Amino acid sequence: MSDPTPPPSLDALGTPLAWAGPDGRIAGCNPAFARWLGVSGRRLLGQPLAALEVQGEALAHFLARDERDSLRLNRLALA
């Protein structure tokens, strides 16, 4: 698994940011992402990104397409 500590430039961002491995599981996040979900960054490690989506399967479909594009999700929660 990747180092959960973000590089200093990402650590300072106020925008929630997470990154995942090829398996779609969270490999790390910046502090803003952890605060946004109300949990510690360590708790998020290894969680499937798709499990964080509350409604629909937009994230799961996005990850399955294997495209390098962006996706905006408005409703997330820890499963």
Q: In this predicted model, what pLDDT tens digit does every residue of 5-23 receive, in sequence order?
A: 656 687 888 888 888 888 8
> For the chain, which domains are there?
8-65 (3.30.450.20)
Token pair for 56: 């629909």
pTM assigned to the model: 0.65
pLDDT digits (tens, 9 = 90+) for 19-73: 888 888 999 999 999 998 888 889 999 998 878 776 667 777 777 776 666 666 6
How would you class 19 by CB atoms within 10 Å of its CB: exposed for 0-12, middle for 13-18, buried for 19 or more? middle
DSSP H or E stretch at residue 29: strand 26-29
Question: In the numeric block, which tokens belong to residue 3?
Answer: 């180092």
- Confidence label for 78 from pLDDT (cuts 50, 70 and 90): low
Q: Name the residue with higher pLDDT: 24 or 4.
A: 24
